[in-house]
Structure 1
Amino acid sequence: MLLVVACAVAGVVVGRILTVVIERVPARAPVGPGLSRLARNPLGRSPGAHTPLVEMATAALFAVAALRFSSDWALPAYLVLFSALVAVTVIDLQHYIVPNRIVVATLFASVPLLALAALLGDDWSSLRTALLGAILAGAGLLVVNLISPRGMGMGDVKLAVVLGLFLGWIDLAHVVLGLFLGFLLGALGGVALIAAGLRRRSDHVPFAPFLAGGAVLAVLVGEPILRWYL
């Protein structure tokens, strides 16, 4: 329980930092000055109206990650993943982009963290399936991008590589489930937006939030879903 509370508190702090990332990365501005300003006045005016939601979402994800991976050396890596997904989701919803700066940084941070988890837990098979999952997820969405570039951007493909890495750490079935849930959420979300008159069929709908949602669901509740299905 102490770990869950500690992770939730850390999530609030990280969420505050993410507001700076969300504000500055789409503008191609350096993040450092924003972080310096935040460090000088951590309780000052929020960079954006979404700040409380970002902080609450990050805290909630950190808490459930602590519950899910309480005895797993991979917990720090999943905290990195969930932080990145919060930032990517907000940025894609606001600006219709999946920033390379975030996706690539997440990938470069996550591979060493998962390798360290494999070393400490003597679990090299999970690392192998993680790398295979990254390849399979990236290749799968690359095919979709080549078939329908309007519906699937390269940013989504790169994000899929990261998601495949983490879903593959669990097992390859979670990779398939996570992508399936992402596409299912995307289809349902698109239909709902069109039905509500908020989008037309020809409009672009950000897909990264749905990919992120599908991956989070697969990570957190994938095992009972797969047990029920299989």
Structure 2
Amino acid sequence: MSSTFAVFMGLLGLAVGSFLNVAVSRVPAGRSVLRPRSACPGCATPIAARDNIPVVSWLLLGRRCRACRIPIPARYPIVEALTGLLFAAEALRFGWSETLPAALVFTAGLLALAACDAELFLLPLRLVYPTLGLTAACLLTAAGATGQWHRLGVTAACAVGAFALFFALHWVRPAWLGFGDVRLAGLLGTGLGWLGPWHLVFAVVAGSFAGLLVGLALMAAGRMTRQTRLPFGVILAGGAIAALLVGAPVVRWYDSLSDPYANTIGTSLTTGGHRP
């Protein structure tokens, strides 16, 4: 059942990824994501349904427009495939739970924002705020369905705390962080606070460490210098998605290091033993 559900969510993710590509192409330019229908940017020929199948159409067309043969950017199949894979992975991670809708909305929004930041060094408000609002609405629904209102309080605290911290960093050294990254931090606090504050910490640390490694590798290869600008939104989004998928075991491992009895609590509860 879980594998069937994951496949279904993966197919849904492919379709969502196709919509995300539309958003990435149009939102930074201030255009509607609903109208007009998708068309080739080179020759303005409307894209037929047979040429709009996620990933598959790009491959069958030889990566070029059917009408004018201009290249279709690789970003299109990459976003579609990533969305499908992440939706499937999160279906396996969370199952059919109250948390899953928020995780999917959060992930989709992060992918669109990361794509915009990678291409334009821009985190559009018209993507940040709808993602924030929809994620918060899903979490509010989850809290109402489960009665876990305290988790909603933690979520709000994480959102405010992350925004305040990044705002302070931006105020001290604007060259370090753009204000778009400050807004993104608030979104990260909302999406990860429901799982716990340490998931947010993991996202920032893991994302920053990965960005450092990538930067060092690019400098070693001569493809960037210390003055080269990196899209920090991509780094934060990657760390947040990693926190969603693998944050829980990492947090449990950290707890076991700080609390030598953490690994025995479950055994004690089931056997009737008592912790000293």
The question of a shared fold, defined as TM-score above 0.5 by the shorter chain, is answered with yes
Q: Against the structure 1 CA distance between its residues 59 and 117, is the aligned structure 2 distance closer, same or farther, given a 3 Å change threshold?
A: same
1:193 alignment partner in structure 2: 218
Structure 2 counterpart of 1:127: 152
1:47-62 to 2 correspondences below 5 Å? 48-62=73-87
Q: State TM-score, norm by structure 2.
A: 0.78
Number of aligned positions between the proteins: 229
Identity of aligned residues (%): 36
The equivalent residue for 2:191 is 166
For residue 11 of structure 1, the aligned residue among 6, 10, 13 is 13
SS of the counterpart of 1:2?
A: helix
Name whichever of 36-45 and 176-185 sits farther off: 36-45
Matched residue, 2:246: 221
Which structure is larger by alpha-carbon Rg, 1 or 2?
Answer: 2
> In 2, are the aligned partners of 1:12 and 1:58 still within 8 Å (CA)?
yes
TM-align CA RMSD: 1.9
Partners in 2 of 1:93 and 1:154 — Cα distance? 16
With structure 1 as the length reference, what TM-score do the two structures score? Answer: 0.93
* Partner Cα distance (1:130, 1:44) in 2: 41
Letter of the 1:55 counterpart? E
Residue deviations 1:123-162, cap 9 Å, x none?
1121111111111111111122122212211111111111
> How much has 1:60 moved relative to structure 2?
0.7
Q: Secondary structure in 1 aligned to 2:51?
A: coil
The answer to whether the Cα contact below 8 Å between 2:155 and 2:193 also exists between their aligned partners in 1 is: yes
Aligned residue identity for 2:100: L
State the one-letter code of the partner of 1:7.
Answer: M
Counterpart residue type for residue 48 of structure 2:
N
The residue type paired with residue 83 of structure 1 is: A
Measure, in 2, the Cα distance between the counterparts of 1:28 and 1:186.
30
1:69-88 to 2 correspondences below 5 Å: 69-88=94-113
Q: Contact 2:20–2:79 at 8 Å: present in 1 too? A: yes
Structure showing greater relative contact order (alpha-carbon pairs closer than 8 Å, 6 or more residues apart): 1
For structure 2, the 5+ residue unaligned runs are: 40-45, 53-57, 59-71, 256-276
